[in-house]
């Protein structure tokens, strides 16, 4: 079940953060700030009363741009559509906020996340060499045209091929 994150979720989020991003986890202070920000929107995914995922969007009020800040699913719960559902929740919120373009950075050595983003319509628009430290891994910068996504979804619902 996906629901908005609350400050009470911070401990569970931190546990997932360290498990999923062992070399470059965000600090508790950073995530506390993210959860409290009016420009952010974080969701958690619960399974059997336990936190198995979370994701965050940054969409500054009044801006046409937004960023996917983070997304992760606990290892044991991956591969069953939960990551896609979390990403969908972020994109739906971005649309509600009137966002036109959504951006994100993903590690160049993370083909699973890249496949998820590509399948949702994100396109690679650049690379940031050695962005992830201390691992020395490039970032792939991706962009999604949210209006284009909505049009594609509407066409798919109507059974129109493109
Ligand atoms: C990336 C992540 C969130 C995906 O979550 P998930 O629940 O496993 O993914 P889903 O089951 O929703 O699958 C969505 C798509 O991801 C891709 N994918 C998922 N597992 C995959 C695998 N083992 N190999 C290749 N592609 C895979 C596929 O494109 C899949 O779509 P499909 O099922 O239609 O083929 C998850 O793997 C994760 O938490 N990874 C560690 C943290 C991380 O890398 N976060 C991204 C930071 S940018």
The finding on whether 55 has its CB within 6 A of some atom of ligand 1 is no
- Classify residue 129 by burial, with Cβ atoms within 10 Å: 0-12, 13-18, 19+: exposed
114 in contact with ligand 1, CB cutoff 6 A: no
* Model-wide pTM > 0.85: yes
- Which is it for strands 65-73 and 101-107: parallel, antiparallel or unpaired? parallel
Burial of 39 from C-beta contacts in 10 A (0-12 / 13-18 / 19+): middle
Distance 119 CA to ligand 1 centre (A): 10
Q: Is 84 in the pocket of ligand 1 (CB under 6 A)?
A: yes
Contact 102, 143 (CB under 8 A): yes
For ligand 1, say whether the CB of 69 is within 6 Å of any of its atoms.
no
pLDDT digits (tens, 9 = 90+) for 81-140: 999 999 999 999 999 999 999 999 999 999 999 999 999 999 999 999 999 999 999 999
Are 31 and 13 spatial neighbours (Cβ–Cβ below 8 Å)? yes
pLDDT of residue 158: 82
């Amino acid at each position: 079940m996906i629901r908005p994150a609350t400050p009470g979720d911070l401990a569970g989020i931190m546990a997932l953060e360290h498990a999923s991003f062992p070399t470059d986890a965000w600090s508790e202070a950073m995530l506390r700030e993210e959860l409290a920000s009016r420009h952010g929107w974080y969701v958690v995914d619960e399974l059997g009363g336990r936190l198995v995922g979370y994701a965050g969007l940054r969409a500054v009020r009044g801006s046409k741009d937004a960023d996917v800040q983070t997304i992760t699913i606990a290892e044991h719960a991956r591969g069953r559509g939960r990551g896609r559902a979390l990403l969908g929740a972020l994109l739906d919120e971005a649309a509600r906020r009137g966002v036109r373009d959504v951006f994100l950075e993903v590690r160049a050595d993370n083909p699973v996340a890249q496949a998820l983003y590509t399948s949702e319509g994100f396109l690679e628009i650049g690379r940031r060499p050695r962005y992830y430290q201390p691992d020395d891994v490039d970032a792939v910068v991706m962009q999604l045209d949210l209006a284009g996504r909505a049009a594609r979804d509407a066409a798919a619902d109507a059974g129109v091929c493109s």
